[in-house]
Structure 1
Amino acid sequence: MNRDIRVCFIGDSFVQGVGDPEYRGWVGRVLQATRGTVTAFNLGIRRNTSADVLRRCWQEVGPRTLPDADNRLVISFGSNDTITEDDRTRVDPARSLENLAALLDESEHRAVAALVVGPPPVIDAGEGHLRRTLRLADEMGALCRARRVPFIATTQALADDPGWTGEALAGDGAHPGRAGYQRLADLVLAGPWHEWIGQPDR
């Protein structure tokens, strides 16, 4: 009998897959490459910060879990946290980490296995944003390692990827198209995804 694996993906517009002409984003591509049956829910919302995700997470994730299912949560945010508005970041880095810690604490309390995908770069936001996002991603990774939660870094690899950067600059400056989202999906699939989801990679 197959396990009832239910996976919620929660985060921002990169989770939602904004900009992908195929409407799959990285989430859809990862799921297509995952063997076995997975019931998935995409809960990405454009412009969401870590504070927004924390505020709505369990109201949306809770109804999508079942007591006898293998419930899982993929968390991805941070790119909007490090955007500056009125000369300050939308979310202070320390608060971003507190928000992530709160999500992981509640995941553990609810016996929902968590995996964190690091924040992608926003190409037209400049070098300052990239530095802030890299720093936050490093700190998110350290927090996850301390809690033995899988973390997949994406920021630098995508900033260096011509498919991601070219498509983002040709579009709205932030979101890529099919090649960029495929690259992000490849990073997830090359990480601990298959081991975490408990399915063979081939």
Structure 2
Amino acid sequence: MIRDLRICFVGDSFVAGAGDETALGWVGRVTAAAWQRGVALTAYNLGVRRDTSADLRRRAEPEVLARLLGAGDAKAVVFGFGANDCTLEDDMPRVPPEASVENAVALLAWAAARWPVLMLGPPPLAHDAAHDARAAALSSRFAAVCEGMDIPFLDTHGPLSGIAAWRNGALRGDGVHPDGAGYAALAALVEQWPAWRNLTRP
């Protein structure tokens, strides 16, 4: 019997797959791969462009509960956010790093008390070196948070920084979001992640 699994992917434009001409993003690709492994994965994509950790903290609970209540044990939550927190407005980050960490702790604690939880760190940002550096620093802080909470964390910034498909795809588009090849590279990282493979085992 094929395994039923329902996962909410909660995050920003990178979770939504913005910029992907195939309309799959990384979420669509890893969902398809799970089906090929014999897992009937229902993926609820809750990615919203420009959302910060503060935005997610406001909306995640009702949106996730609406999709996972009554789903038995076949459910999980995957978070991916941080890039928009680091965007400058009036020469200040939209969300200060300390507040980003506080929001991450609150989101992760709420979800992990109910379901299996995974988190992806913010990816590289090809358009702006300073913004990219802030995202890398925030990714490190998120990694420390997840380690302290015993939640699997995937650093996407480091690996994707060395993958031409990610950077080139972003530079061909809006400078921020990659194309299908870039999202395929991110999906490959997720597929190789032991925590993801364990979550989506047949």
Bin for the TM-score computed over the shorter chain: over 0.9
Normalised by the size of structure 2, how large is the TM-score?
A: 0.93
Task: Tell me the SS of whatever aligns to 2:43.
Answer: strand
1:80 aligned residue (58, 79, 84): 84
RMSD: 1.3
Measure how far apart 1:195 and its partner are.
Answer: 1.1
For residues 1-202 of structure 1, what are the structure 2 equivalents within 5 Å?
Answer: 1-34=1-34, 35=37, 36-67=39-70, 68-109=72-113, 111-124=114-127, 126-191=128-193, 192-197=195-200, 199=201
Letter in 2 for 1:8: C
Contact 1:4 1:69 in 2 (8 A): no
Aligned partners of 1:167, 1:71: CA distance in 2, in Å?
32
| Alpha-carbon distance between aligned partners in 2 of 1:66 and 1:52, rounded to the nearest angstrom | 22
Structure 2: runs of 5+ lacking an equivalent = none
Identity percentage of aligned residues:
44
Once the two structures are superposed, residues 169-196 of structure 1 have per-residue CA deviations (whole angstroms, 9 ceiling, x without a partner) of 1110101111100000011111121113
Q: Deviations over 1:101-126 (max 9, x none)?
A: 001111133x22110011012211x2
AA in 1 matched with 2:136: L
Q: How many residues align structurally?
A: 197
Please say which of residues 157-166 and 142-151 is displaced more in the overlay: 157-166
Provide the secondary structure at the position in 2 that maps to 1:75.
strand
SS at match of 2:117: strand
Moved over 6 A (4+): none
**What TM-score, normalized by structure 1, do the two folds share?**
0.93
Task: Give the residue type in structure 2 aligned to 1:70.
Answer: A
Q: Deviations over 1:111-170 (max 9, x none)?
A: 22110011012211x221121111110110111111111101001222222111111111
Alpha-carbon shift at residue 2 of structure 1 (Å): 4.6
Structure 1: stretches of 5+ with no match in the other structure: none
